[in-house]
Structure 1
Amino acid sequence: MSRIGKKPVVVPKGVTVTIDGSTVTVKGPKGTLTRTFDPRIKISLIEDQIIVERTSEEKEVRALHGTTRALIQNMVTGVSEGFSVTLKIRGVGYRAELKGKDLQMSLGFSHPVVIQSIEGIQFQVPSADTVVVSGIDKQLVTQVAANIRRYRIPDAYKGKGIWYEGEQRPLKPGKAVGKGK
Protein backbone atom coordinates (compact mmCIF):
# COMPACT_ATOMS: atom_id res chain seq x y z
CA MET A 1 0.00 0.00 0.00
CA SER A 2 1.32 3.41 -0.93
CA ARG A 3 2.05 5.53 2.12
CA ILE A 4 1.12 8.68 0.23
CA GLY A 5 -1.83 7.14 -1.62
CA LYS A 6 -3.62 5.85 1.45
CA LYS A 7 -3.77 9.30 3.10
CA PRO A 8 -7.05 11.11 2.44
CA VAL A 9 -6.98 14.57 0.86
CA VAL A 10 -8.75 17.00 3.17
CA VAL A 11 -10.93 19.52 1.32
CA PRO A 12 -10.81 22.93 3.07
CA LYS A 13 -13.81 25.22 3.46
CA GLY A 14 -14.54 27.27 0.35
CA VAL A 15 -13.32 24.52 -2.00
CA THR A 16 -15.77 22.42 -4.01
CA VAL A 17 -14.78 19.05 -5.49
CA THR A 18 -16.74 17.31 -8.26
CA ILE A 19 -15.86 13.77 -9.30
CA ASP A 20 -17.25 12.45 -12.58
CA GLY A 21 -15.82 8.99 -13.21
CA SER A 22 -12.08 9.55 -13.42
CA THR A 23 -12.34 13.33 -13.96
CA VAL A 24 -11.85 15.54 -10.92
CA THR A 25 -12.85 19.22 -10.90
CA VAL A 26 -11.74 21.41 -8.01
CA LYS A 27 -13.19 24.92 -7.59
CA GLY A 28 -11.90 27.38 -5.05
CA PRO A 29 -11.43 31.08 -4.35
CA LYS A 30 -8.45 31.34 -6.73
CA GLY A 31 -9.93 29.44 -9.68
CA THR A 32 -10.88 26.06 -11.12
CA LEU A 33 -8.73 23.07 -12.07
CA THR A 34 -9.89 19.96 -13.93
CA ARG A 35 -7.89 16.82 -14.54
CA THR A 36 -8.64 13.34 -15.85
CA PHE A 37 -6.91 10.46 -14.11
CA ASP A 38 -6.30 6.83 -15.01
CA PRO A 39 -9.58 4.86 -14.74
CA ARG A 40 -7.76 2.09 -12.84
CA ILE A 41 -7.61 4.43 -9.84
CA LYS A 42 -10.88 4.84 -7.91
CA ILE A 43 -11.47 8.36 -6.59
CA SER A 44 -14.32 9.04 -4.18
CA LEU A 45 -15.50 11.98 -2.07
CA ILE A 46 -16.64 11.14 1.45
CA GLU A 47 -17.78 14.18 3.45
CA ASP A 48 -14.84 16.62 3.22
CA GLN A 49 -12.19 14.07 2.25
CA ILE A 50 -11.09 12.65 -1.09
CA ILE A 51 -10.18 8.98 -0.93
CA VAL A 52 -7.91 7.49 -3.61
CA GLU A 53 -7.92 3.69 -4.01
CA ARG A 54 -6.46 1.36 -6.57
CA THR A 55 -8.48 -1.33 -8.30
CA SER A 56 -5.67 -3.88 -8.72
CA GLU A 57 -2.18 -4.66 -7.49
CA GLU A 58 -0.43 -4.31 -10.85
CA LYS A 59 2.92 -2.52 -10.66
CA GLU A 60 1.79 0.40 -12.83
CA VAL A 61 -1.42 0.87 -10.84
CA ARG A 62 0.53 0.83 -7.57
CA ALA A 63 2.79 3.55 -8.98
CA LEU A 64 -0.21 5.65 -10.06
CA HIS A 65 -1.85 5.40 -6.62
CA GLY A 66 0.43 7.82 -4.77
CA THR A 67 0.92 10.01 -7.82
CA THR A 68 -2.83 10.49 -8.26
CA ARG A 69 -3.29 11.41 -4.62
CA ALA A 70 -0.41 13.92 -4.78
CA LEU A 71 -1.83 15.52 -7.94
CA ILE A 72 -5.26 15.89 -6.32
CA GLN A 73 -3.64 17.41 -3.21
CA ASN A 74 -1.81 19.91 -5.44
CA MET A 75 -5.09 20.81 -7.16
CA VAL A 76 -6.80 21.47 -3.81
CA THR A 77 -3.85 23.50 -2.51
CA GLY A 78 -3.61 25.45 -5.78
CA VAL A 79 -7.22 26.64 -5.84
CA SER A 80 -7.19 27.53 -2.14
CA GLU A 81 -3.69 29.00 -1.60
CA GLY A 82 -1.90 29.02 -4.96
CA PHE A 83 1.73 28.31 -5.75
CA SER A 84 4.69 30.58 -6.40
CA VAL A 85 8.34 30.21 -7.33
CA THR A 86 10.83 33.00 -6.67
CA LEU A 87 13.81 33.41 -8.99
CA LYS A 88 16.87 35.52 -8.15
CA ILE A 89 18.88 37.06 -10.98
CA ARG A 90 22.61 37.45 -10.27
CA GLY A 91 25.07 39.16 -12.57
CA VAL A 92 26.29 42.60 -13.55
CA GLY A 93 23.65 44.28 -15.69
CA TYR A 94 21.18 41.41 -15.35
CA ARG A 95 17.71 42.68 -14.52
CA ALA A 96 14.03 41.98 -15.01
CA GLU A 97 10.99 44.19 -15.51
CA LEU A 98 7.35 43.89 -16.44
CA LYS A 99 6.17 45.25 -19.79
CA GLY A 100 2.41 45.06 -19.49
CA LYS A 101 1.81 41.44 -18.52
CA ASP A 102 4.98 40.18 -20.22
CA LEU A 103 8.31 39.67 -18.47
CA GLN A 104 11.35 41.33 -20.05
CA MET A 105 14.84 40.41 -18.87
CA SER A 106 18.31 41.70 -19.70
CA LEU A 107 20.62 38.71 -19.32
CA GLY A 108 23.77 39.73 -21.15
CA PHE A 109 22.53 38.89 -24.63
CA SER A 110 22.51 41.41 -27.46
CA HIS A 111 18.73 41.57 -27.12
CA PRO A 112 16.29 41.53 -24.21
CA VAL A 113 14.59 38.22 -23.44
CA VAL A 114 10.79 38.59 -23.45
CA ILE A 115 8.59 35.92 -21.91
CA GLN A 116 4.98 36.21 -23.06
CA SER A 117 2.32 36.03 -20.37
CA ILE A 118 0.63 32.64 -20.16
CA GLU A 119 -2.96 32.05 -19.10
CA GLY A 120 -3.00 31.03 -15.45
CA ILE A 121 0.45 32.48 -14.68
CA GLN A 122 1.21 35.85 -13.11
CA PHE A 123 4.63 37.48 -13.09
CA GLN A 124 5.71 39.88 -10.35
CA VAL A 125 8.97 41.80 -10.19
CA PRO A 126 9.38 43.15 -6.64
CA SER A 127 12.93 44.28 -7.45
CA ALA A 128 15.13 44.33 -10.55
CA ASP A 129 16.85 41.10 -9.51
CA THR A 130 13.80 39.12 -8.34
CA VAL A 131 11.02 37.47 -10.35
CA VAL A 132 8.03 35.75 -8.76
CA VAL A 133 6.06 33.29 -10.90
CA SER A 134 2.67 32.42 -9.39
CA GLY A 135 -0.53 30.60 -10.29
CA ILE A 136 -2.88 27.82 -9.23
CA ASP A 137 -1.43 24.93 -11.27
CA LYS A 138 1.78 23.72 -9.59
CA GLN A 139 3.01 21.88 -12.66
CA LEU A 140 2.57 24.94 -14.89
CA VAL A 141 4.13 27.36 -12.38
CA THR A 142 7.25 25.24 -11.86
CA GLN A 143 7.60 24.53 -15.59
CA VAL A 144 7.43 28.23 -16.48
CA ALA A 145 10.01 28.99 -13.76
CA ALA A 146 12.29 26.26 -15.13
CA ASN A 147 11.90 27.64 -18.67
CA ILE A 148 12.86 31.13 -17.46
CA ARG A 149 15.84 29.74 -15.57
CA ARG A 150 17.01 27.92 -18.69
CA TYR A 151 17.90 31.25 -20.33
CA ARG A 152 20.84 31.66 -17.90
CA ILE A 153 21.63 28.60 -15.80
CA PRO A 154 23.90 29.60 -12.88
CA ASP A 155 27.58 29.70 -13.78
CA ALA A 156 29.73 27.29 -11.77
CA TYR A 157 32.63 29.74 -11.40
CA LYS A 158 31.16 33.21 -10.84
CA GLY A 159 27.58 32.35 -9.85
CA LYS A 160 26.04 34.52 -12.57
CA GLY A 161 22.63 33.45 -13.82
CA ILE A 162 19.10 32.80 -12.64
CA TRP A 163 18.82 31.01 -9.30
CA TYR A 164 15.86 29.60 -7.42
CA GLU A 165 15.40 31.39 -4.11
CA GLY A 166 17.23 29.44 -1.42
CA GLU A 167 19.23 27.39 -3.94
CA GLN A 168 22.81 26.79 -2.89
CA ARG A 169 25.55 25.58 -5.17
CA PRO A 170 29.22 25.53 -4.28
CA LEU A 171 31.27 27.60 -6.69
CA LYS A 172 34.27 25.95 -8.31
CA PRO A 173 37.67 27.47 -7.66
CA GLY A 174 39.31 29.17 -10.62
CA LYS A 175 42.64 28.21 -12.13
CA ALA A 176 45.51 28.02 -9.70
CA VAL A 177 48.20 30.46 -10.83
CA GLY A 178 51.88 29.57 -10.65
CA LYS A 179 51.55 25.87 -9.89
CA GLY A 180 53.15 23.19 -11.97
CA LYS A 181 56.17 25.19 -13.14
Structure 2
Amino acid sequence: MSRIGKKPVDLPSGVTASVSGQTIEVKGSKGTLSFTATDDVTLTLGENVITVTPRGSSKRARQQWGMSRTVIANLVTGVSDGFKKELEINGVGYRAQMQGNTLKLSLGYSHEVNFEVPDGVTVTAPKQTEIIVEGADAQLVGQVAANIREWRKPEPYKGKGIKYKDEYIFRKEGKKK
Protein backbone atom coordinates (compact mmCIF):
# COMPACT_ATOMS: atom_id res chain seq x y z
CA MET A 1 0.00 0.00 0.00
CA SER A 2 1.26 3.43 -0.94
CA ARG A 3 1.19 5.85 1.97
CA ILE A 4 1.40 8.80 -0.40
CA GLY A 5 -1.12 7.40 -2.88
CA LYS A 6 -3.76 6.82 -0.19
CA LYS A 7 -3.95 10.51 0.71
CA PRO A 8 -6.52 12.49 -1.26
CA VAL A 9 -5.45 15.78 -2.88
CA ASP A 10 -7.44 18.69 -1.43
CA LEU A 11 -8.41 21.53 -3.75
CA PRO A 12 -7.99 24.95 -2.08
CA SER A 13 -10.49 27.74 -2.71
CA GLY A 14 -10.01 29.36 -6.12
CA VAL A 15 -8.76 26.13 -7.72
CA THR A 16 -10.98 24.02 -9.97
CA ALA A 17 -10.28 20.64 -11.51
CA SER A 18 -11.89 18.58 -14.26
CA VAL A 19 -11.26 14.93 -15.07
CA SER A 20 -11.91 13.47 -18.52
CA GLY A 21 -10.75 9.88 -18.84
CA GLN A 22 -7.11 9.71 -17.75
CA THR A 23 -6.49 13.47 -18.13
CA ILE A 24 -6.88 15.95 -15.29
CA GLU A 25 -6.89 19.71 -15.84
CA VAL A 26 -6.37 22.08 -12.90
CA LYS A 27 -7.14 25.82 -13.13
CA GLY A 28 -6.11 28.46 -10.63
CA SER A 29 -4.89 32.02 -10.26
CA LYS A 30 -1.41 31.18 -11.65
CA GLY A 31 -2.69 29.43 -14.78
CA THR A 32 -3.87 26.08 -16.09
CA LEU A 33 -1.94 22.80 -15.93
CA SER A 34 -2.87 19.31 -17.08
CA PHE A 35 -1.58 15.77 -16.53
CA THR A 36 -2.38 12.52 -18.31
CA ALA A 37 -2.14 9.50 -16.04
CA THR A 38 -1.31 5.99 -17.22
CA ASP A 39 -3.98 3.29 -17.54
CA ASP A 40 -2.71 1.70 -14.30
CA VAL A 41 -4.55 4.22 -12.09
CA THR A 42 -8.06 5.66 -11.82
CA LEU A 43 -8.63 9.37 -11.18
CA THR A 44 -11.76 10.38 -9.26
CA LEU A 45 -12.97 13.93 -8.64
CA GLY A 46 -15.06 14.38 -5.51
CA GLU A 47 -16.25 17.38 -3.49
CA ASN A 48 -13.04 19.54 -3.55
CA VAL A 49 -10.95 16.34 -3.42
CA ILE A 50 -9.10 14.30 -6.04
CA THR A 51 -8.37 10.65 -5.28
CA VAL A 52 -6.07 8.29 -7.14
CA THR A 53 -6.59 4.51 -6.92
CA PRO A 54 -4.60 1.72 -8.59
CA ARG A 55 -6.19 -0.68 -11.08
CA GLY A 56 -5.06 -4.08 -9.86
CA SER A 57 -2.15 -4.95 -7.59
CA SER A 58 0.69 -5.19 -10.09
CA LYS A 59 4.02 -3.58 -9.26
CA ARG A 60 3.62 -1.00 -12.04
CA ALA A 61 0.14 -0.02 -10.85
CA ARG A 62 1.45 0.55 -7.31
CA GLN A 63 4.38 2.61 -8.64
CA GLN A 64 2.11 4.79 -10.77
CA TRP A 65 -0.33 5.25 -7.87
CA GLY A 66 2.01 7.29 -5.64
CA MET A 67 3.69 9.06 -8.55
CA SER A 68 0.39 10.17 -10.09
CA ARG A 69 -0.89 11.46 -6.75
CA THR A 70 2.32 13.48 -6.23
CA VAL A 71 2.19 14.99 -9.73
CA ILE A 72 -1.47 16.00 -9.21
CA ALA A 73 -0.60 17.55 -5.82
CA ASN A 74 2.19 19.53 -7.58
CA LEU A 75 -0.31 20.75 -10.19
CA VAL A 76 -2.65 22.01 -7.45
CA THR A 77 0.22 23.72 -5.58
CA GLY A 78 1.54 25.23 -8.80
CA VAL A 79 -1.71 26.87 -9.91
CA SER A 80 -2.49 28.17 -6.41
CA ASP A 81 0.91 29.22 -4.95
CA GLY A 82 3.51 28.54 -7.64
CA PHE A 83 7.05 27.25 -7.27
CA LYS A 84 10.24 29.21 -6.66
CA LYS A 85 13.96 28.40 -6.86
CA GLU A 86 16.58 30.86 -5.66
CA LEU A 87 20.15 30.80 -6.96
CA GLU A 88 23.23 32.61 -5.62
CA ILE A 89 26.30 33.60 -7.64
CA ASN A 90 29.68 33.57 -5.86
CA GLY A 91 32.93 34.74 -7.44
CA VAL A 92 34.83 37.90 -8.30
CA GLY A 93 33.28 39.51 -11.37
CA TYR A 94 30.44 36.95 -11.58
CA ARG A 95 27.11 38.69 -12.10
CA ALA A 96 23.68 38.32 -13.66
CA GLN A 97 21.17 40.75 -15.12
CA MET A 98 17.91 40.49 -17.04
CA GLN A 99 17.49 42.16 -20.44
CA GLY A 100 14.01 41.53 -21.77
CA ASN A 101 13.53 37.77 -21.96
CA THR A 102 17.27 37.02 -21.77
CA LEU A 103 19.36 36.40 -18.65
CA LYS A 104 22.87 37.74 -19.21
CA LEU A 105 25.50 35.98 -17.09
CA SER A 106 29.13 37.03 -16.63
CA LEU A 107 30.81 33.90 -15.29
CA GLY A 108 34.51 34.31 -15.99
CA TYR A 109 34.34 33.11 -19.58
CA SER A 110 35.76 35.21 -22.43
CA HIS A 111 32.16 36.00 -23.42
CA GLU A 112 28.83 36.67 -21.74
CA VAL A 113 26.40 33.77 -21.47
CA ASN A 114 22.93 34.59 -22.83
CA PHE A 115 20.22 32.34 -21.39
CA GLU A 116 16.82 32.53 -23.12
CA VAL A 117 14.00 32.13 -20.56
CA PRO A 118 11.32 29.66 -21.76
CA ASP A 119 7.57 30.38 -21.63
CA GLY A 120 5.81 29.49 -18.37
CA VAL A 121 8.72 30.65 -16.18
CA THR A 122 9.72 34.09 -14.94
CA VAL A 123 13.34 34.79 -14.06
CA THR A 124 14.34 37.87 -12.09
CA ALA A 125 17.70 39.15 -10.88
CA PRO A 126 16.97 41.50 -7.93
CA LYS A 127 20.72 41.77 -7.17
CA GLN A 128 23.69 41.08 -9.42
CA THR A 129 24.50 37.96 -7.37
CA GLU A 130 20.97 36.58 -7.03
CA ILE A 131 18.63 34.85 -9.50
CA ILE A 132 15.00 33.88 -8.75
CA VAL A 133 13.16 31.39 -10.98
CA GLU A 134 9.36 31.26 -10.51
CA GLY A 135 6.49 29.47 -12.24
CA ALA A 136 3.49 27.18 -11.91
CA ASP A 137 5.08 24.00 -13.30
CA ALA A 138 7.39 22.40 -10.70
CA GLN A 139 9.30 20.35 -13.26
CA LEU A 140 9.91 23.33 -15.55
CA VAL A 141 11.03 25.62 -12.70
CA GLY A 142 13.49 23.00 -11.45
CA GLN A 143 14.81 22.30 -14.93
CA VAL A 144 15.38 25.99 -15.76
CA ALA A 145 17.19 26.49 -12.43
CA ALA A 146 19.34 23.42 -13.12
CA ASN A 147 20.15 24.68 -16.64
CA ILE A 148 21.28 28.06 -15.26
CA ARG A 149 23.36 26.34 -12.54
CA GLU A 150 24.96 24.10 -15.19
CA TRP A 151 26.85 27.06 -16.71
CA ARG A 152 29.17 27.28 -13.69
CA LYS A 153 28.68 24.70 -10.95
CA PRO A 154 30.12 25.61 -7.53
CA GLU A 155 33.64 24.30 -7.01
CA PRO A 156 34.81 22.98 -3.62
CA TYR A 157 38.04 24.98 -3.17
CA LYS A 158 36.92 28.61 -3.32
CA GLY A 159 33.14 28.08 -3.60
CA LYS A 160 32.91 30.02 -6.87
CA GLY A 161 29.97 29.34 -9.15
CA ILE A 162 26.17 29.29 -9.19
CA LYS A 163 24.51 27.43 -6.31
CA TYR A 164 21.03 27.01 -4.90
CA LYS A 165 20.34 29.33 -1.95
CA ASP A 166 19.93 26.46 0.54
CA GLU A 167 22.70 24.30 -0.95
CA TYR A 168 25.74 23.44 1.16
CA ILE A 169 29.07 23.28 -0.68
CA PHE A 170 31.53 20.90 0.97
CA ARG A 171 34.76 22.88 1.06
CA LYS A 172 38.15 21.26 0.52
CA GLU A 173 41.52 22.41 1.75
CA GLY A 174 44.02 23.47 -0.90
CA LYS A 175 47.44 21.88 -1.38
CA LYS A 176 50.15 22.52 1.13
CA LYS A 177 53.85 23.34 0.71
Letter matched to residue 61 of structure 2? V
CA distance, structure 2, for counterparts of residue 70 and residue 37 of structure 1: 11
Partner residue of 2:123?
123
Instruction: Note if contact 2:40-2:60 (Cα within 8 Å) is conserved in structure 1.
Output: no
User: Is 1:33 aligned with 2:61?
Assistant: no
User: Is 1:161 aligned with 2:161?
Assistant: yes
**1:34-56 C-alpha deviation (Å, 9 max, x unpaired):** 11110211010110110000011
Cα offset, 1:76, TM superposition: 0.2
CA distance, structure 2, for counterparts of residue 36 and residue 166 of structure 1: 32
Partner residue of 1:51?
51
Q: TM-score, normalised by structure 2?
A: 0.98
CA distance, structure 1, for counterparts of residue 27 and residue 158 of structure 2: 45
Which protein shows a greater Rg? 1
CA distance, structure 2, for counterparts of residue 67 and residue 40 of structure 1: 11
CA distance, structure 2, for counterparts of residue 90 and residue 57 of structure 1: 50
**1:66-96 C-alpha deviation (Å, 9 max, x unpaired):** 1100000000000000001000000000000
Partner residue of 2:134?
134
Q: In the comparison of the two structures, how many residue pairs are matched?
A: 177
**1:85-132 C-alpha deviation (Å, 9 max, x unpaired):** 000000000000001121111001111111112110101111000000
Misfit runs of 4+, over 6 Å: none
Partner residue of 1:96?
96
Gaps of at least 5 residues in structure 1 are: none
Partner residue of 1:24?
24
- Report the RMSD for the aligned CA atoms in angstroms: 0.7
Letter matched to residue 32 of structure 2? T
* Percent of aligned positions that are identical: 47
User: Is 1:113 aligned with 2:77?
Assistant: no
Cα offset, 1:4, TM superposition: 0.3
CA distance, structure 2, for counterparts of residue 111 and residue 164 of structure 1: 23
Specify the SS of the correspondent of 2:176: coil
CA distance, structure 2, for counterparts of residue 104 and residue 58 of structure 1: 49
After TM superposition, the structure 1 = structure 2 runs for residues 78-89 of structure 1, keeping only pairs within 5 Å, are: 78-89=78-89
CA distance, structure 1, for counterparts of residue 169 and residue 124 of structure 2: 25
